[in-house]
Homo-oligomer: A and B are copies of this chain.
Amino acid sequence: MIKVGIVGGTGYTGSELLRLLVHHPGVAVSVVTSRADAGTRVDAMFPQLRGHVELEFASPDTPALSDCELVFFATPNGTAMQHAPALLSAGVRVIDLAADFRLDQVEVWEHWYGMTHAAPSLLGEAVYGLPEINREAIRGARLVANPGCYPTAVTLGLLPLLETGAEAGLVDKDRLICDVKSGVTGAGRKASTGLLMAEVGESFKAYSVSGHRHQPEIRANLRRATGQEVGLTFVPHLVPMARGIEATLYAFLTDDRTDLQTLYEQRYADEPFVDVMPSAAALETRSVRGTNLCRLSVVEPLGNGVVVVQSVIDNLVKGAAGQAVQNMNLMFGLDEALALPTVGLVP
């Protein structure tokens, strides 16, 4: 049994990690921390875990973390970078579910996250934890930067269009449009008037229209995967539901001879967690609720030179905790799919 710890266990990614890990046959969660709730039983805060977790929240200063083989940081941005160096030195591997190690350029990171990076020397070592582009590197990693939820959905949706070896490419790389929508858990579990049910229920809105932190992360992913800079506009929206991301991605075709359905099916044929829908099929966020799947659909509406890709994930699973477990499985040589649900809870 691999001994793992979770730092920041009272948020949605923390409790989702617990939901997945209590069913994992190769893992024992030995410590879950929370500064504010140290001493509280985990199942008093999360009754859905009664009978499965006997721990109390520990202080984040607990030495028990150093006894783990792996520590997940399910903390706000800026926390993991403070504590990862000591854990790594102690031989503990680290998966950060926040953004601290997602960008490899420190000045870009500091611009978007508005703070000084505490461990810039680790940015080069950290492996970006999207198995569909980085599987081998993840297997050998000590430190994995778990991707953002939007970047997971968008990157998986755009990859096949941009990886093509064709000279001119398939699409206009400078004019990508990413219109993305997320349920409210994407904003975390924090006391904020703006996230009250009475504020976000029965309403819909765009936010961060003038610039969102996931835009540079997506651009970096696509640059890494294709060797080229892309120009993309990224507008996130808030949907009155708890879980789920839908990305509608628009690209202008420069080559109309490629069969896009086949392109997508072949790209993801061996991926356990990417499912390309048959042409024209419905694609609802709920079909992946609670699962580690990304479902994709590709359509060329009215044959007018624009390709529309739909991509859906559960932001807390493939967009966060599930992908972290997938990365853990790879890092420890386990079956990549172990303990990861693939049947959506519908309705």
Contacts and interface: CB of A to CB of B under 8 A. Distances in A.
Contact of A209 (B200, B240, B299): B299
A287 B47 contact: yes
A181 B184 contact: no
B52 A343 contact: yes
A91 interface: no
A347 B210 contact: no
A312 B50 CA distance: 15
A237 B312 CA distance: 13
A202 interface: yes
A19 B343 contact: yes
A308 to B, nearest CB: 6
Given A198-B242, A242-B197, A48 B344 contact: yes
A1 interface: no
Nearest to A53: B343
A269 interface: no
Interface string A313-347: 00000000000000000000000000000111111
Contact of A197 (B191, B196, B289): B196
A84 to B, nearest CB: 27
Interface of A: 12, 15, 19, 22-23, 44, 46-52, 175, 177, 179, 181, 183-185, 189-193, 195-207, 209-211, 215, 231, 233-235, 237, 239-244, 246, 248, 250, 252, 275, 277, 280-291, 295, 297, 299-302, 304, 306, 308, 310, 312, 342-347
Query: 6 closest A-B pairs (Cβ-Cβ)?
Result: A48-B344, A203-B286, A179-B179, A197-B197, A205-B284, A191-B191
A344 B52 CA distance: 11
Copies of this protein in the complex: 4
B189 A193 contact: yes
Given A196-B184, A197-B200, A233-B250, A12 B283 contact: no
A266 B152 CA distance: 41
Residue of A23, A181, A185, A290 with most chain B CB atoms under a 10 A cut-off = A181
B302 A201 contact: no
B343 A23 contact: yes
B49 A343 contact: yes
A344 B49 CA distance: 7
Nearest to A245: B204
Nearest to A16: B346
Given A197-B196, A237-B246, A346-B48, A204 B284 contact: yes
A198 B189 contact: yes
